[in-house]
């Protein structure tokens, strides 16, 4: 299995430092070569926007945390893009656990595969509670916890684990990417939901769904692995996703959650 995963790894990324600033540049080159993956990211952007329209009925700034190489502002220009490492394609650097933002100034935070990299998520919840307007919220796309996702994520990355039984929400992260627990959203919002509600009573989980583009995400190889089928297969793969939609909870790779701030 180890040898097979090594073979599937994107050749240009085999020796790079996952915590280094070159990560963004290398991932950007990978993304430019993958139309299939670009479509997946744009669909994530549309999901963010649609769920914000549906559930976050207030005004204010919209900020994407951990925007990386596929920032939401490329689809929705009014969204501010931020990341852990500053780069020319980003608006600013922002520490998600200690934000230099005014109280009650934000309508929406968006986070795609970044929440599980926060070593102390309670600090993040306190910050979004401080900075969000009532009726605003955070929309997170995170690794899912279903049967297939749980089996896959345990074996996918050397730098990140997937432990659904980890006792603590805090993770021993050693850098922006190293040491994360990809099962963090499961721990907090599913396994320990009552504790989350008790500790952060003004934050409510108002929506959760499993993303339906997992076949294209998997076949594209994401940002770290080889693409398995040519782009000519995209229409066929989309058709398969429609057929398999009833099985999302079994085979899905990502889920999306909407956390909204309510009045005290």
Whole-prediction pTM: 0.88
Residue 173 has pLDDT above 70, yes or no: no
Give the Cα-Cα-Cα angle 161, 21, 124 (nearest 5 degrees): 55
Tokens of 83: 């990341």
- By 3-state DSSP, what share of the chain in percent is helix, strand and coil, each rounded to 5? 40, 20, 40
pLDDT tens figures, 109-129: 999 999 999 999 999 999 999
The boundaries of the domain holding residue 32 are: 2-261
The predicted pLDDT at position 27 comes to: 81
CATH number for position 251: 3.40.50.150
3-state secondary structure 215-258: HHHHHHCCCCECCCCCHHHHHHHHHHHHHCHHHHHHHCCEEEEE
In the chain, how many domains are there?
A: 1
pLDDT tens figures, 85-102: 333 333 444 566 667 789
pLDDT tens figures, 185-202: 999 999 999 999 999 999
Find the mean pLDDT for residues 36-57.
Answer: 97
Contact by Cβ (8 Å): 145, 137: no
């Amino acid at each position: 299995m180890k040898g097979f995963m090594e073979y599937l790894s994107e050749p240009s990324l085999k020796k790079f430092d996952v915590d280094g600033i070159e990560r963004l540049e290398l991932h950007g080159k990978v993304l430019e070569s993958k139309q299939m993956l670009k479509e997946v990211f744009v669909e994530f952007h549309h999901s963010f926007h649609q769920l914000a329209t549906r559930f976050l009925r207030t005004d204010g700034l919209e900020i994407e945390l951990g925007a990386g190489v596929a920032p939401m502002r490329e689809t929705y220009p009014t969204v501010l893009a931020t990341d852990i490492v500053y780069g020319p394609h980003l608006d600013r650097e922002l520490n998600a656990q200690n934000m230099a933002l005014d109280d009650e100034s934000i309508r929406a935070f968006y986070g795609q595969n970044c929440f599980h990299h926060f070593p102390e998520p309670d600090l993040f919840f306190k910050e979004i509670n401080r900075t969000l307007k009532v009726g605003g919220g955070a929309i997170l796309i995170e690794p899912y916890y279903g049967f297939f996702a749980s089996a896959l994520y345990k074996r996918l990355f050397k730098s990140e684990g997937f432990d659904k039984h980890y006792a603590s929400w805090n993770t021993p992260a050693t850098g922006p990417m190293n040491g994360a627990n990809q099962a963090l959203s499961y721990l907090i919002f599913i396994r320990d939901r009552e504790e989350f509600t008790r500790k952060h009573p003004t934050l409510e989980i108002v929506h959760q769904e499993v993303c339906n583009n997992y076949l294209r995400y998997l076949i594209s190889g994401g940002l770290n692995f080889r693409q398995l089928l040519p782009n000519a297969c995209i229409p066929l793969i989309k058709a398969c996703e429609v057929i398999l939609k009833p099985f999302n909870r079994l085979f899905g790779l990502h889920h999306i959650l909407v956390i909204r701030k309510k009045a005290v």
